[in-house]
Structure 1
Amino acid sequence: MNPSAKRLRIAALLLGSVVCLGSVGFMWIEGYSLLEAIYMTVITVSTVGFGEVRSLSDGGMLFTAILIVSSIGTFTFAATAVTQFFIEGDYRERLRAKRIQRIMNEMNNHVIICGHGRVGEKAVQELQDHAHEVVIIESNEELVKKLRDAGVRALAGDATEDENLVNAGLDRARALITTLPDDAQNLYVVLAAKERRPDLLTISRASNANAVSKLKVAGAQNVIMPDQVGGAHMASLVAIPDVVEFLDHIRIQGADAVNLEEIEVQQLPDRLQSMTLAEIDARNRIGVNVIGLRKASGEMVINPPLDTTLQASMKLFVLGTADQIRRLNDFIGIQSPSL
């Protein structure tokens, strides 16, 4: 809960306590009815200056004086809390959060990112480059506000709470990536997601090697250790620097000049789905190169021969420039991502 909302809640609690105590006091000392006691307490605390219900006894006047003095601070605090709640933008932020929640309730086939640290930020960037809709769950409310200002759909809350996963559209999501820095939290997120959606593609970050097997047992299809990946990458820059530089230049549908994309054969026009690679002649027609394919069995074929006959269950991996990839998408008839 943000500070302004917390102050507002405290102010409401204090005001309620003052009204209750004041009403009880007037009923006991002056014999007022409940309605008369509440009315008398409110006009006394707010100092509006309306007349008493009836003349006060000496005890009633003393009680009223004590009530006024003791409630001045409470009333001032409440007025300040209400003013800050509206002026500091908390009220507008709550309205915006509700509007974003309505949008998220209508989203389908999106990717949920748990945590927006360095790893989560990079994952979001790559997915957006790949034209995927993303919903972020982040516990840092200030960061969530900045993300919303940038037009990113973000949910403020703890990703380990089932309610937040559901509010992020877990039932309709395409995949979930948890990038939290704590392995125990990532494990809980994976377990919660898999309990509700056993079929969901789930990818988790791991900081400790001992957590990798646990996360996979919990249901994560892929577990990534950023430190291990980074160390291997740096070693490769020494061992095979030119190869690594070339691979770094190839982005997955990013903003670079060279891009790699996967195409399902069933996405191709019907007349092409039973042809061989030579008959499709993608290199001369569009300019892209088919550098690999994946069969239905999961077998990967690198640099497949031209006499390979396509099957609807296959996936092709094609390499080309941003413009060539865009022309390929136009040729297939699918929406081109922002290259």
Structure 2
Amino acid sequence: MTYPTRNLVYGLSFMAAVMVLGVVGYLLAGWDLSDAVYMVVISIFTVGYGEVRPLQEEGLRGFTMLLIVLGCFSVIFVSGALVQFLMEGQIRRALGLRRMSAELKKLNQHTIICGYGRIGRMVAADLKSGQRPFIIVDKDVRRLETAREAGYLTLEGEATEESVLLEAGVTRAAVLATVLPSDAMNVFITLSARDLNPELVIIARGEDPATERKLIQAGANRVVLPAHIGAERISHLILFPEAAELIDDAEKSQHLKQELGDLGLEMEEAVIPKFSPFVGKCVGDLESLHSGAFLVVALHRRGGGTELRPGRETLLHAGDGVVAVSRGSNLAKLLDLSDGK
């Protein structure tokens, strides 16, 4: 709790205590509850109306004077604390905006994340873990407040507007990720960003597979279809439940992909079709193609079970899942070739 907030809470608590004390005092003097509450209110806030009942007893007069003094003090204290509380919020907001403006000008070769929804949150968390500078652009004030609480640099505005992209430093940025749930907005942002920075790497989200071509034509370097990826993942888990031990550990999987990427390699997974020329052949036959472009590291058997580091003489069967390390070749296309070449 900040200092102004604490003062405001203390002031309101003191005022409430004074009001309760006043009501109890008048009740003990024989007044009814309605008259007691009314007398306490006009005394504390010094309205100046006449007394509800004549104050002829010396003790009751002294009690009323004490109530007026304590009430005035509580009102003054609460008023000051309230002003301090409101001013602190304005000052903090002004300083925060100035700090963000200064940090925006310092950004260079950074990433712009358009949209702070479910995917935007995950992207921001990963970039923070990777210590990559980035800024979040969104028009939703509540989402931006959540992002700022997480320590992220934010910019309020509509990412489809060129002025907002320029303020986010699109001309100095290295990557722009537009992850809004609207395909039309992602296409528009991609067009605007590509026009402002021809060298920018643009990664766009797409909901409808038919939008992928439009995003590429608009200037996106990569298009990600979350629904398609999720469906493939679910299908894979249904077909090969034992594969979890190989790919479910997110930390190990990410580390492995990074290590392979540094070597110019990537991991691929594909199912052997029923009429593939590799049905009944050995792992060595697959690895010998394309001058050793593939290295089989695991087999997910159709009947169940996973074979890690299978030998070159291991037979391949229809429906088996092949996990291989390659140099950018298309494993799925290779397994489906009619002549095996």
Q: Secondary structure at the match of 2:203?
A: strand
Q: Number of aligned residue pairs: give it.
A: 194
Residues 118/301 of structure 1: CA separation in 2 closer, same or farther (3 Å cut): farther
2-structure distance, mates of 1:253, 1:105: 36
What amino acid sits opposite 2:196 in the alignment?
Answer: R
Q: Secondary structure at the match of 1:96?
A: helix
Shift of 1:293: 6.9
Residue 106 of structure 2: aligned partner: 106
The aligned runs of 1:63-78 (5 Å cut-off) are none
2:138 is the alignment partner of 1:138: yes
Residue 122 of structure 2: aligned partner: 122
What amino acid sits opposite 1:201 in the alignment?
Answer: V
- Contact in 1 for aligned 2:260/2:266 (Cα 8 Å): no
Residue 261 of structure 1: aligned partner: 258
The aligned runs of 1:227-266 (5 Å cut-off) are 227-251=227-251, 258-262=255-259
1-structure distance, mates of 2:264, 2:197: 34
Residues 162/291 of structure 1: CA separation in 2 closer, same or farther (3 Å cut): closer
In the superposition, the TM-score normalised over structure 1's length comes to 0.51
2-structure distance, mates of 1:241, 1:135: 38
- Contact in 2 for aligned 1:138/1:157 (Cα 8 Å): yes
2-structure distance, mates of 1:300, 1:86: 69
2-structure distance, mates of 1:133, 1:291: 25
Residue 187 of structure 1: aligned partner: 187
Q: For structure 1, which runs of at least 5 residues remain unmatched after alignment?
A: 1-82, 266-289, 305-315, 318-339
Residue 319 of structure 2: aligned partner: none
2:202 is the alignment partner of 1:205: no
Residue 178 of structure 1: aligned partner: 178
Residues 122/292 of structure 1: CA separation in 2 closer, same or farther (3 Å cut): same
- 4+ residue runs over 3 A deviation: 83-88, 250-254, 262-265, 299-304
Residue 92 of structure 1: aligned partner: 92
Residue 313 of structure 2: aligned partner: none
Shift of 1:241: 2.3
2:265 alignment partner, one of 287, 292, 303: 292
Q: Secondary structure at the match of 1:195?
A: helix
2-structure distance, mates of 1:208, 1:88: 47
In the superposition, the TM-score normalised over structure 2's length comes to 0.50
In terms of Rg, which structure is larger?
2
Q: For structure 2, which runs of at least 5 residues remain unmatched after alignment?
A: 1-82, 268-290, 297-326, 329-341
1-structure distance, mates of 2:223, 2:261: 25
Residue 12 of structure 1: aligned partner: none
2:227 is the alignment partner of 1:215: no
- Contact in 2 for aligned 1:177/1:202 (Cα 8 Å): yes
2-structure distance, mates of 1:137, 1:252: 31
Residue 78 of structure 2: aligned partner: none
Shift of 1:170: 0.9
Residues 264/205 of structure 1: CA separation in 2 closer, same or farther (3 Å cut): closer
1-structure distance, mates of 2:183, 2:137: 17
Residues 157/85 of structure 1: CA separation in 2 closer, same or farther (3 Å cut): farther
Residues 252/120 of structure 1: CA separation in 2 closer, same or farther (3 Å cut): farther
Shift of 1:161: 1.1
